[in-house]
Amino acid sequence: MGAERSEQVTVAFHGVRGSTPCSCPTLQRYGGNTSCVTIEVEGADPIVLDLGTGLRPWGDALSEVGVARVHALITHLHWDHIQGLPFFAPLQNPESTLDIYGPGEVGETLAESFNRFMAPPFFPIQACELPATVRFHDVIHGDFDVVDAAVMVRPVPHAGPTAGFRVTRAGVSVAYVPDHQEPIERPHEVDEGVLELCDGVDLLIHDAQLRPDELMRKAHWGHCTSEYAVEVARQSGAKHLVLFHHDPSHDDVELDRISFEAATLAERVGVNQVTAATEGLKLSLGSGI
């Protein structure tokens, strides 16, 4: 497993929306780009969680500082988690390398799945035609190292093959479960693999897309409520819960309300801290904080 070090870790949110990117004026405060979060330590390769449209602005900034290698952990292949890949600026640099870890579709490798969505007529070129080196690694259950980080990956209940990740870097643990099906008939039941990912983590980034009144109508979407996200944090002993994967129909005012109600519930059940993810949010964890 990756060695733990006493350093500062920065977790940055570049895209926090679920399902589809949106640019409505009423959604600007929380942001409209889709799933993309980075875990960074100064002087080391960055790790990025999902490749949604938030990848593009982060990639533009990354190109300016000349980072040559990036490691991506993707949860699944729905559009909102991979759509940023073709627009990731470092991929235009032949000296850059992108290693992508995650599950392919049933019966396909991860590389085969990517080459099916990123190909004519849906997109002008395939990943193999980009100037940079792109390498795919099939994972959905296991433990492995990525640069200086220890990574745990487990299957998560959702629509189609979906992974969740736990990344331990410089002594800081972050669990990332952006798409998680709430068991409607068993509201206090949490998948064993999810609890393993989230057990005692410093930071839990978790699906909170639906309101309770939306859950029954959208049960087949594979998402959950902020109340269920709090329940996952409570059962796992997570120290800080970040509500994530906001629904495109939930504007800034609605998300303010959802966040307030989740924080109130969390205080009542013993969860220390709840934050609603916003685009541009940066959390510093580890020594010196």
pLDDT bucket at 220, cuts 50 / 70 / 90: confident
39-67 per-position pLDDT tens digit: 999 999 999 999 999 999 999 999 888 88
Q: With respect to residue 3, please indicate whether it lies within any of the assigned structural domains.
A: no
pTM for the full model?
0.95
CATH value at residue 71 = 3.60.15.10
Residue 20 has pLDDT above 60, yes or no: yes
Residue 48, in any domain of the structure: yes
- Split at pLDDT 50, 70, 90, the class of 124 is very high
Cα separation, 288 vs 10, in Å, equals: 12
Question: Domain limits at 205?
Answer: 8-286
CB contact at 8 A, 16 and 286 = no
| pLDDT value of residue 13 | 98
Token readout for 193 is 């693999």
Residue 194 maps to a domain: yes
In a domain, 2, yes or no: no
Q: Cis peptide leading into 131, omega within 30 of 0?
A: no
Give the pLDDT score at 146.
Answer: 97
Say how many domains are in the chain: 1
Read off the amino acid at residue 47.
I
Mean pLDDT over each residue of the chain, to the nearest integer: 94
Phi and psi (nearest 5°) for 236?
A: -90, -15
Residue that wins the pLDDT comparison between 154 and 116:
154
Taking the C-alpha atoms of residue 54 and residue 57, their distance in angstroms, rounded to an integer, is: 6
pLDDT at 2 over 50: no
Residue 92: both structure tokens together: 């235009």
User: What percent of the chain stands above pLDDT 70?
Assistant: 97
